[in-house]
Structure 1
Amino acid sequence: MAFKIAIFFTLAAFMNVGQGCETNQVDQLTARQGLDELLKEESYSSANNLWTTPYYYNYQPRTPLPGFANAYEGRTPLNRQQPNYFIKDEDSLPESRLFLGNIATNLIGSSLFNNRFSPANQFRPFANLLNRIPPNSANSRSAFDACTSPAGEAGICTMSSVCSLFAGRPSGSCSLSRVCCVNVVNGCGKTVTLNNTYWQSPATVSSPSNCALTIKLDAKLAEQSFKPICQIRLDMVSFTTAPPVAGTCADTFQVGGATTMAPTICGVNSGQHMYLNVPSSGVTPSDVQLMFNFAAGAATRSWNIKIAMLPCGADYLAPPGCLQYFTSATGRVSSFNWQDSATAQQLNNQNYNICFRTELVSSQPATLACLSVCQVANGGDAFYITTPAPDVADRRPTVGVTPAAAARAAAFAATLSAVETSFLDSAGTRTAVCLYDFLFIAGGRDANGIEADRYCGNALNPAPLPFAAAGSGGALTGPALGGSATSIQVCTPVKPFKITYKTDGTEAAVAVSAPTASVIATADTGNTGFCLDFQQR
């Protein structure tokens, strides 16, 4: 056996020794022009039929548990690892076709055999050995499977020559003698065709300027031929642009070409994500554009956005109409640009759904989704949507209300929670509360069963609170405008679990101007949006 191994490596040493240095980043659409021929040479030409081949992942459709609201609802108990569309699933595939098994796979995928090497050490005698081993055509559907590198980066499993073609970075190995290829695109005006691609900002971002990226979806592309795409997930690994001014973005990030109406965002959005619905690429080729527009002025502008292409029919797709989708029993959700900072502002023109898959809790489907405001330590405000206005005239002053007393009443009202859409003041004027800016929680209620579905103000609480305050110019008594000044946990039994966040286009006062505004609203001051911890029970 030892003699055979020695002969094997001796012959391999004569096969195409080192290759050139690492190339610069290239446009994936340009790079893929040679992919069809390369795959043909590497015995990938026997592609399975597009409509009969299992999709990108080797998932098995699972029958929903009895009592779940729909096919997207909870399939994962708490003690099981959550599904991850970036993780490879290759348990059913042969580990290797080499007689050395996993040892050969890992060795060939290492830097010794890889053709992506530092010019300081150009001797790689086995650089192309990996690519000379034809893959098993019966498993050709596994080409471009998702994988995770040892460093935790998302990538795709492919031959090292294909990885080099797209200027990817091999990091770890996959089965079938492939490498886990991490793909990064820097700069503007590029086109992406590969799943799990990172779009990173260029070294220098000028202003004013714009920077766009095109995601090309077409089942005729070799790298997408086994997995028609129906959704794109964007994960904002890092995201910083100029902050909004009075809620309005000067720098903007927008999405075009998707059927999902994604809101315009700016500011700091690291850790946020978006699901974008697209027509099935197996039926209709389409392009999705990610677009930054930068206004004049100095500001930090940088980003690293992970682009995942999700196959039609997969059981981890977000339900229709959900911009964000959470698949765990506990976690944290916040509005775009929410920060634990005293200067953070909520964004105008937000209107989207945040959905939560029903999970298993103690081996049973959860019956409640509960929301509590986040704990903050750096001066941020975990819940501030709309500034409730005091109805000073309705305080029934005993000796008159001085401006100082009215100011104290206004400051007190600004700390209160608020619910529902509007109220009628003592002068008979109807004023908006949670009409233009609000968080909608269908069936939301506190521990005592007090219920409200619209929440705004400066605290999360559906319960009313009597108002009583005294000022030097006179006592202010009467009912409070809004609810409590203390946030509490709000739970909902309504499935599928979902909340909706909506803001209008201004933080200024709203005057009646039918049909766009039928109810007046006072100006908003220092609104931050929300940060909530969720827990299913």
Structure 2
Amino acid sequence: MSIFYVLLSVVLMLQVSRACDGNNEEEQLAAARQQSDEYFANAYGFNSNNPWGSPYYQPSARVPGYASAYAEGRAPINRQPSYNPFKKYFTSSNVDEEINQQAEGRFALGGLGANLINTGLFNNRFTPANTWRPFSNLANRIPVSVNPDFSGPLTNFDACTSPSGDAGICAPGSVCSLFGGRPSGSCVLGKVCCINAITTCGGTVTLNNTYWQSPSTAVSVPSTCALTVRMDTKLVEQLAKPICQIRLDFVSFTTLQPTVGTCSDTFMVGGTTTVAPIICGDNSGQHMYLDIPSSGITPTDVQLMFNFPTGIATRSWNIKIAMLPCGASYLAPKDCLQYFTSATGRVKSFNWQDIASTTTRQLNNQKYNICFRTELVSSQRATQMCVSTCQVTNGDAFSITTVPPGGADVVAPPGTADSIAAAAFAATLSAVGTLFADVATVGPPVVPAQRKAVCLYDFLLIAGGRDVNGIEADRYCGNALNPAPLAVPAGAAVPNISPLLAAAVPGGLATSVQVCTPIKPFRMTFQTDGTEAAITAINAPTVPVLAAADNANTGFCLDYQEK
């Protein structure tokens, strides 16, 4: 009998021990499930502080000087109470705190599948003693990188192209309508390609790939038409990626032509670290990259502004505004107003057109860098970049600073056959460097030789530029692109120019050649001063040398090729 009691005591002790172990295992499993829930909730985009979410956002402070902060592109909607239909699937939640928060709203659906798996919908059906759990690691096998992430329909910030060729962003149809866009084509996951366009003055845009189009009614004069581009990571549509650059693509751009190089109609940019030149005239197909401080550090408002004085002219534009996220591989290098990313292409100065013109189309006060990404050519990185003048029908492919016959002074009385012939010949020549020396005027009266500027005030800079013979120059101007200077000796057989005048013609050639540079990164700098008139007074250091008047300069059009 005593043996029976001993055995009974042993059995009871084992049951108690097993019960204790079972309770402990249940507690461990509960803790593990809570950690798993929290991990997958975060990994799949669920934020317990901002769950199912209220489809609202708070409008930012309006820009001073504009009547309406959100004329188009955004429309604030009333704040709705927050609601979390999946609260029961999470072990802890701070949903009630959402009511007092001022954060941007989000649409949260992410994490449902993973949390249904991990909260015990499948696993809790098996007792702790049963170690076979076929779904225990299923969520771990779901790659986060391909999770559709419904929690933020705008946070992906993905660009798209509509069937008509317009650029937009991928967004749910309801969100597209919310921001005043129009659906055109489709994206993955049931989203539409949302095209956003603004056709008024004084608005504010916050969406990537927005088009600013001229109003359907004629623009009155005098007037100002401006648009604000706002970058702020507190905005729901910019929540995922801070913005560091803006690219403007001038799909169409027609305003009044300049007067002797100076714009009456003006397009200008404010609020960027890039100093963009004032432009006008015909600029369809041109573009600009504009650097801004990271919107993740400080919100930025960039102003795009047209000023129209009195005058009759066609004024129309369609400008695509692309917001480029920090760290993107397609950002332009710092201080590059224009950036080209193909092995071949065409680059033009602003307002250049292939048309016959007797007026100045080259714009004054231009100073900017044109940069080229080093591309692969025959599976090797390019070692040089070459430029040559475009094939033109009516215009002039290269016309920067008119080369004067002997500078501001002529070596024969004005109006004579020699003087006219010398001027006509010089106007076809290339020029390099910054200075040349006049010869003395043949009297009476005798005028001593003076230094004159050529590519000092208006020029295209190509560092290390050289022709096929290795003749090198960095500054180019005149009416031909050629680094080889030509010294016309006295008595040389120059057509229509007497031997007396031949020595007065500055060095240069009347033909353009291909110019190549091996210096990387590949770039050019275009610069013009503020006048096309003759410089007759020295004002050092800004005006160190005299210069002749320019005549109907048009700028440049160059085909480039990386080799």
- TM-score w.r.t. length of structure 2: 0.71
Of 398, 403, 412 in structure 2, the residue corresponding to residue 388 of structure 1 is 403
Q: Distance in 1 between matches of 2:364 and 2:496?
A: 36
| Backbone CA RMSD of aligned residues | 2.6
Q: Which runs of 4+ in 1 moved over 6 A?
A: 35-39, 392-397
Q: Distance in 2 between matches of 1:393 and 1:225?
A: 60
Q: Distance in 1 between matches of 2:560 and 2:235?
A: 40
Match of 1:404, as an amino acid?
A
Q: Distance in 1 between matches of 2:296 and 2:265?
A: 35
Alignment of 1:58-77 (within 5 A): none
In the alignment, is the contact (CA less than 8 A) between 1:232 and 1:276 conserved in 2?
A: yes
Match of 2:551, as an amino acid?
T
Does 2:442 align with 1:421? no
Cα deviation, 1:397-421, whole Å, max 9, x if unaligned, reads: 9xx9982201110110110000001
- Equivalent position of 1:372 in the other structure: 388
Match of 2:207, as an amino acid?
L
- Equivalent position of 2:343 in the other structure: 329
Of 141, 159, 169 in structure 2, the residue corresponding to residue 146 of structure 1 is 159
Does 2:512 align with 1:487? yes
- Equivalent position of 2:419 in the other structure: 406
Does 2:223 align with 1:158? no
Aligned length, in residue pairs:
425
Query: 1:225: how far off?
Result: 0.7
Q: Structure 1 residues 401-410 or 251-260, which shifts more?
A: 401-410
Query: 1:136: how far off?
Result: 2.9
- Partner SS state of residue 176, structure 2: helix
Of 449, 452, 460 in structure 2, the residue corresponding to residue 439 of structure 1 is 460
More strand by proportion, 1 or 2? 1
Q: Distance in 2 between matches of 1:447 and 1:432?
A: 27
Q: Distance in 2 between matches of 1:416 and 1:194?
A: 49
Which has the higher Rg, Structure 1 or Structure 2? 2
Cα–Cα, structure 1 residues 213 and 33, in superposed 2: closer, same or farther, change >3 Å? farther
Alignment of 1:34-113 (within 5 A): 40=105, 42-43=107-108, 93=146
- Partner SS state of residue 435, structure 1: coil
Of 450, 457, 480 in structure 2, the residue corresponding to residue 459 of structure 1 is 480
Q: Distance in 2 between matches of 1:252 and 1:528?
A: 18
- Equivalent position of 1:359 in the other structure: 375
Match of 2:552, as an amino acid?
G
Match of 1:385, as an amino acid?
I
**Structure 1 unmatched ranges of 5 or more:** 1-25, 47-90, 97-134
Larger RCO: Structure 1 or Structure 2 (Cα < 8 Å, ≥ 6 residues apart)? 1
Q: Distance in 1 between matches of 2:503 and 2:80?
A: 76
In the alignment, is the contact (CA less than 8 A) between 2:411 and 2:419 conserved in 1?
A: no
Match of 1:371, as an amino acid?
V
Query: 1:177: how far off?
Result: 1.5
Of 496, 521, 527 in structure 2, the residue corresponding to residue 496 of structure 1 is 521
Cα–Cα, structure 1 residues 393 and 219, in superposed 2: closer, same or farther, change >3 Å? closer
In the alignment, is the contact (CA less than 8 A) between 2:404 and 2:426 conserved in 1?
A: yes
In the alignment, is the contact (CA less than 8 A) between 1:44 and 1:140 conserved in 2?
A: no
Taking every aligned residue pair, what percent have the same amino acid on both sides? 64
Q: Distance in 2 between matches of 1:45 and 1:484?
A: 69
Cα–Cα, structure 1 residues 431 and 33, in superposed 2: closer, same or farther, change >3 Å? farther
Cα deviation, 1:3-62, whole Å, max 9, x if unaligned, reads: xxxxxxxxxxxxxxxxxxxxxxx734641556998995732799xxxxxxxxxxxxxxxx
In the alignment, is the contact (CA less than 8 A) between 1:35 and 1:222 conserved in 2?
A: no
Alignment of 1:21-36 (within 5 A): 27-28=71-72, 30-32=74-76
Q: Distance in 2 between matches of 1:392 and 1:384?
A: 17
- Partner SS state of residue 464, structure 1: coil
Q: Structure 1 residues 339-348 or 435-444, which shifts more?
A: 339-348
Of 202, 208, 212 in structure 1, the residue corresponding to residue 222 of structure 2 is 208
Q: Distance in 2 between matches of 1:234 and 1:395?
A: 46
- Partner SS state of residue 254, structure 1: strand
Cα–Cα, structure 1 residues 27 and 299, in superposed 2: closer, same or farther, change >3 Å? same
In the alignment, is the contact (CA less than 8 A) between 1:396 and 1:478 conserved in 2?
A: no
